[in-house]
A and B are shown apart, each in its own frame.
Chain A
Amino acid sequence: MAASAAVRASVTFTQRLVRVSPDCSICPLHRLNLCTGSAGASVSAPSVSASGDCQKEETQEQVVHVVFVDRSGRRSPVKAKVGDNALYLAHKHGIDLEGACEASLACSTCHVYVKSEFCAKLPAPEEREDDMLDMAPMLQENSRLGCQIILTPELDGIELTLPRVTRNFYVDGHVPKPH
């Protein structure tokens, strides 16, 4: 009984949480296998399945292949759905992309470089995104904020690279060469 009350409470919490961070891996409903999919980030989410499992049906047309390239050059290919938000996709797959302001265009921590041939396939940034990009270190022509990239079928194969912003770069046993 206490468990179901807890689940009910967590549904409200989750629905609030999901509006800002639809990261299934930290959601208690997902872990308890009780997700109704009602909070899914995908705009094309099919109707909820009776068993209540997280919606995993993907038809071929809905899949968008994305490659994240992290700061050490490591490539992480992931399968996303049309309508997914690149920032939350990164979180879902443990990619090291911060989203301090939770996609509200109030910071530049989700700054990514978009592979050039895909730049034109993205809608032009609105003024507020450009304003935030102005504050991002190592700004380039192909810079965008990850939280503003919504995946479409035309973006299949897109590569998003995380900028190297630090002077001392040390990851997983790599020792920077002395200079």
Chain B
Amino acid sequence: MQKMIINRIVRIHILSRATGWRGLSSVSGPRVCVVGGGPAGFYTAQQLLKARQDALVDIYERLPVPFGLVRFGVAPDHPEVKNVINTFTQTAHHERCSFHGNVNVGRDVSVEELRQAYHAVVLSYGAEANRPIGIPGENLSGIFSAKDFVGWYNGIPANKELCPDLSCETAVILGQGNVALDVARILLSPLDTLKTTDITQHALKALAGSGVRRVLIIGRRGPLQIACTIKELRELVNLPNTRAEMLLSDFEGIKETLKDLPRPRKRLTDLLMKAVNGGEDKAEKSWSFRFSRSPVEVLAGADGKRAAGIRLALNKLEGSGENARAVPTDQLEDVDCGLIISSIGYKSILIDPAVPFDPRRSVVPNDMGRVQDTPGLYCSGWVKRGPTGVIATTMNDSFDTARVLLQDMETGELDLSIKKPGAQAISALLQTRGVRTVLFSDWEKINAEEERRGKPHGKPREKLLDVEEMLQIAWS
């Protein structure tokens, strides 16, 4: 049935071209579809458009708003990191690129249908789930994944009702990567710093009434394996009105290893050691790293429903350097706390059964971006490599995938002599299914409205939290 519709659309399209309907000049060039409107999607599109003057690239995004984790993941107090949005906006404005928001690939249209309509499909849909801790008590109230907590203060529509209770004194964060440090910093930042960012208003209000004074950031391994980068650590160290509380014993023997460490690790460890007993002694708020500890159970309070503490197993380290392994001992330690945030990694999911998926690593199996056993299907970003790295990492990765795709076009692996209908066919399909897309110019109306709403608060924008409201403004 779908094939019939596509054939009909192709015939109408060719007929329209013959009668001189003004379409895009490169009707015979490669048509590529990108699934996911975040950094991976945009960087892949950018490279393709630059390398081939005849390529048409369409970006499909589930939400009405583009930019993925640049919008929803980067911390509100890191606005410069979001400057990359200007690059992506330039790409979206390119005459051979079009953005289609409000399209759920896997539900509204299948990957197979996309593959029929395009010469190549690139999966760039990232990692939207989180790794479970896998311990008893994990589902008590008062525990959140960092993904949801960050989504809450960054305006992900699905997280707007999170309502975390911030009345406790001690918060525990599991994980020591940049996301963990972002969460700690947002919990401890002076309100004045946050007031002028694009943090959601409800999060700002909750933080204003927060009782959290102490944040423990817990990692399985030692100081030499900490996963955060130096910029984020430095921000924590320099946080006003806070002090660092670290255990000197955690740093035994570290000083001697410093000189042999590669530069990034050396500078990071140097800073960590300086932070031991650093900060203003009289500061009312504190943060600390606790090393070599793994969570084994979340302990409930008197009512049996809320988290009131966490039980940790002490680990010993086997091996050294980046590959050191944490081996649990039978020593346990209980920590009282009222808020637990698990920041142990995001996770990709399968969006369409026709796409190969590795359930162990939670990525799409691929060789250099070519999806295994599926010609014409590619992937870039976290869904390809796993959920680690900064925007620059994803950029390089996306450029890699684009190059591989271009190579396949040159060598004939991708048969460009077959005419493909591209967006016309998919738009027609979506229409029959009652799905209306959000164009980039529609997003720009949402953007303008968010900026307008932010002004009276002195914020760069007040993010819309409701998909229906986004759509209403987009199509107004």
Q: Write the residues of chain A forming the contact surface with B, with a CB cutoff of 8 angstroms.
A: 20-21, 98, 100-102, 104-109, 127-128, 130-132, 134-137, 139, 165-171, 173, 175
* One of B86, B87, B267 near A134 (C-beta < 8 A): B267
B406 close to A (CB within 8 Å):
yes
Shortest CB-to-CB span from A21 to chain B, Å, is 7
A12–B99 Cα distance when bound, in Å, is: 27
The answer to whether A167 and B400 have CB atoms under 8 Å apart is: yes
The answer to whether B410 and A173 have CB atoms under 8 Å apart is: yes
Q: Give the one of A131, A167, A173 with max B CB within 10 A.
A: A131
The answer to whether A166 and B396 have CB atoms under 8 Å apart is: yes
Top 7 closest pairs, chain A to chain B, by CB = A104-B80, A134-B264, A106-B80, A100-B84, A102-B83, A170-B403, A106-B81
Q: Write the residues of chain B forming the contact surface with A, with a CB cutoff of 8 angstroms.
A: 78, 80-81, 83-84, 86-87, 229-231, 234, 263-264, 267-268, 368, 390-393, 395-396, 399-400, 403-404, 406-407, 410-411
Name the B residues within 8 Å of A173 (CB-CB): 410
The answer to whether A106 and B78 have CB atoms under 8 Å apart is: yes
Name the prevailing secondary structure of the B interface residues. Answer: helix
Shortest CB-to-CB span from B40 to chain A, Å, is 13
The answer to whether A131 and B231 have CB atoms under 8 Å apart is: yes
The answer to whether A21 and B81 have CB atoms under 8 Å apart is: no
Name the B residues within 8 Å of A100 (CB-CB): 83-84, 87, 391-392, 395
Contact A135 B392, CB 8 Å, known A101-B83, A104-B83, A106-B78: yes
Shortest CB-to-CB span from A123 to chain B, Å, is 19
* One of A108, A136, A175 near B407 (C-beta < 8 A): A175
The answer to whether A105 and B80 have CB atoms under 8 Å apart is: yes
The answer to whether A20 and B395 have CB atoms under 8 Å apart is: no
Nearest opposing residue in chain A for B46, CB measure = A98
Name the B residues within 8 Å of A139 (CB-CB): 263-264
The answer to whether B404 and A134 have CB atoms under 8 Å apart is: no
Nearest opposing residue in chain A for B229, CB measure = A135
The answer to whether B395 and A109 have CB atoms under 8 Å apart is: yes
* One of B263, B393, B400 near A168 (C-beta < 8 A): B400
The answer to whether B392 and A107 have CB atoms under 8 Å apart is: yes
Q: Give the one of A20, A100, A101, A109 with max B CB within 10 A.
A: A100
Shortest CB-to-CB span from A178 to chain B, Å, is 12
A105–B78 Cα distance when bound, in Å, is: 11
The answer to whether B263 and A134 have CB atoms under 8 Å apart is: yes
Nearest opposing residue in chain A for B78, CB measure = A106
